[in-house]
Amino acid sequence: MGKLLEVKDLAVSFQTYFGEVEAVRGVSFHVDKGETVALVGESGCGKSVTANSIMQLLPMPPAFYKNGQIIFEGEDIVKKSDKEMQKIRGNKISMIFQDPMTSLNPTMKIGKQIIEGILKHQKLSRHEAKKKAIEMLELVSVPQPEKRINQYPHEFSGGMRQRVMIALAMVSNPELLIADEPTTALDVTVQAQILDLMKQIQDKLGTAIILITHDLGVVADISDRVIVMYAGKIMEEGTTDEIFKNPKHPYTRKLLGSVPRLDMDRNESLHSIEGTPPDLYRPPKGCPFFDRCDKAMVICKDHMPNKEYHSDSHYSYCWLNHPMAKAADEGSEI
């Protein structure tokens, strides 16, 4: 098995004053022990909502689980109460966010916050907890941890704060770490440091990571598998190599083509995708990418494509996979 987390057919919606907004519309995937899975997509695609659902962090109402299961260690998280979830959060599954400033309490010393985190799930004396806190700061390469443990969040720089966040998250050696855009707000040189750190921690502690991001460079750097989401659904999934070298879905291809690369010719044009993602207030019946896809066919409008496997680990949802689709665009650029 080896499956740490299994999401089955998850559907999450929000009840708003003008109707239901379907943020996640039937998403299924799994995460194995010790691997890094990237959830990629643009804003509104549902990746953050999916991640927050795993931790049951969405305000309910207005959010609600419309359908599906999230199986972690044999139990369905969707069915758990908040009290039960508290035993899991920060303990077995941890999360780090984009903006460390708002996730850390500005009036509490860093050391205190870490110690509180430790004591919540582990039976240690204060003294032992303090020692562990210093160890955690060392783990994330915060220099002079014994001194910095008595400082406040605002005395740390952005990169340092993110390290503290990671320390806080790793305090109970969780099986799964969910990282929601952890480096988006950081400078590029600092981002490189944090990504490196995450890789080191994974090597050392065997933590599985779900990485949510829209930055394809970051994905190429640290993820093993990639899931591409659009408008609340999964469009394509595969290993990192498969997705980058052999993308099957038109959206994935366009996405890859719209990112300027340091090693590309400046005279090549960037692929952009016309228009904007569909409003999930009245989500389209068929393939959500229909409005913006230049390979769209009649069938795409009203019918959601079937899942088609390209290898054991690589699949996509697209009518172009169907034998009857005439377009043969293997290898040729869009």
Partner 1 sequence: MVEPLISVRNVKKYFDVGKGKTLKAVDGISFDIYPGETFGLVGESGCGKSTAGRTIIRLYEPTDGETIFNGRNIYELSRHEMQEVRRDFQMIFQDPYASLNPRMSVLDIIAEPLDIHKAYKNHRERYNRVIELLKLVGLNEEHAQRFPHEFSGGQRQRIGIARALALNPKFIVCDEPISALDVSIQAQVVNLLKKLQKEFGLTYLFIAHDLSMVRYISDRVGVMYLGHMMELATSEELYNNPIHPYTQALLSAIPIPDPEIQRNRHRIMLEGDVPSPIDPKPNCRFVDRCRHATERCRRETPEFREIKENHFVACHRADEILRGSLK
Partner 2 sequence: MSDMTYTKDMFQKVKRESYHADEIKRPTIKYWADVWRRLKMNKLAMAGLIILIIMGIMSIIGPHLSGFDYKEQDYSQVNIRPNSTYWFGTDELGRDLFSRAWLGTRYSLLIGIAAALIDFGIGVIYGGIAGISSRKVDAIMMRIAEVIYSIPYMLVVVLISVVFSTAGSGTSMFVLIFAMTITGWVPMANLVRGQVLQLREFEYSMASESLGASKGWILRKHIIPNSFGPILVNVTLTIPRAIFSEATLSFMGLGLQLPKPSLGTLANDGLAVMPIGLFYQILIPSILISLIMFSFNVLGDGLRDALDPRLRK
Site track 302-321 with partner 2 (rule: CB under 8 A), x = hit: -xx-x------------x--
Sequence-separated (6 or more) residues with CB below 8 Å from residue 47: 39, 40, 41, 212, 229
Q: Which stretch binds partner 2 (CB under 8 A): 95-103, 186-194, 260-268, 301-309?
A: 301-309
Helix, strand, or coil (residue 149): coil
> Are the C-beta atoms of 331 and 254 separated by less than 8 Å?
no
Q: Which of residues 30-69 bind partner 2 (CB under 8 A)?
A: 62
Binder among 74, 106, 275, 331 for partner 2 (CB under 8 A): 275
Sequence-separated (6 or more) residues with CB below 8 Å from residue 313: 225, 237, 238, 239, 242
Max alpha carbon distance in the chain (Å)? 69
Least Cβ distance, residue 255 to partner 2 (angstroms): 16
Q: What is the enclosing helix (H) or strand (E) of 115?
A: helix 110-121
Q: Which of residues 164-183 bind partner 2 (CB under 8 A)?
A: none
Q: Cβ closer to partner 1: 88 or 218?
A: 218
Burial classification of residue 133, based on how many CB atoms lie within 10 Å of its CB (0-12 exposed, 13-18 middle, 19 or more buried): buried
Q: Which residues are at the interface with partner 1 (CB under 8 A)?
A: 42-43, 157-160, 187-193, 195-196, 214-221, 240-241, 244, 254-256, 258-264, 266, 269-274, 276-277
Q: Cβ closer to partner 2: 2 or 275?
A: 275
Q: Cβ closer to partner 1: 7 or 226?
A: 226
Partner touching 332 among partner 2, partner 1, none, CB below 5 to 8 Å by kind: none
> Are the C-beta atoms of 280 and 45 separated by less than 8 Å?
no
Alpha-carbon span 34 to 175, nearest angstrom:
8
Partner touching 32 among partner 2, partner 1, none, CB below 5 to 8 Å by kind: none
The backbone torsions φ and ψ at residue 52, rounded to the nearest 5 degrees and listed phi first, read: -65, -30
Q: Cβ closer to partner 1: 26 or 158?
A: 158
Interface with partner 2 by CB under 8 A: which residues? Answer: 16-18, 62, 274-276, 278-279, 281-282, 290-292, 294-301, 303-304, 306, 319, 322, 324-327
